[in-house]
Amino acid sequence: MGTYAIVETGGKQYWVQPGDRLRVESIDCDEGDLVELSNVLMVSRDGDVVLGTPKVEGVVVTAQAVGEGRGSKTVVFKYKRKTRYRRRRGHRQPYTDLRVTAISAQEIPNGA
Structural domain boundaries enclosing 31: 3-105
Work out the average pLDDT over 59-81. Answer: 96
> What is the pTM for the complete model shown?
0.82
- Whether the CB-CB separation of 24 and 98 falls below 8 Å is answered with yes
**Do the domain assignments include residue 74?**
yes
> Residue 46: its pLDDT value, please?
84
- Max alpha carbon distance in the chain (Å)? 66
**Do the domain assignments include residue 53?**
yes
**Do the domain assignments include residue 59?**
yes
The total number of structural domains in the chain stands at: 1
- Mean pLDDT is lowest, of 9-18, 42-51, 100-109, for 100-109
Dihedral, CA of residue 7, residue 8, residue 14 and residue 19, to nearest 10: -50
**Do the domain assignments include residue 66?**
yes
**Do the domain assignments include residue 110?**
no
Phi, psi of 5, deg, nearest 5: -150, 160
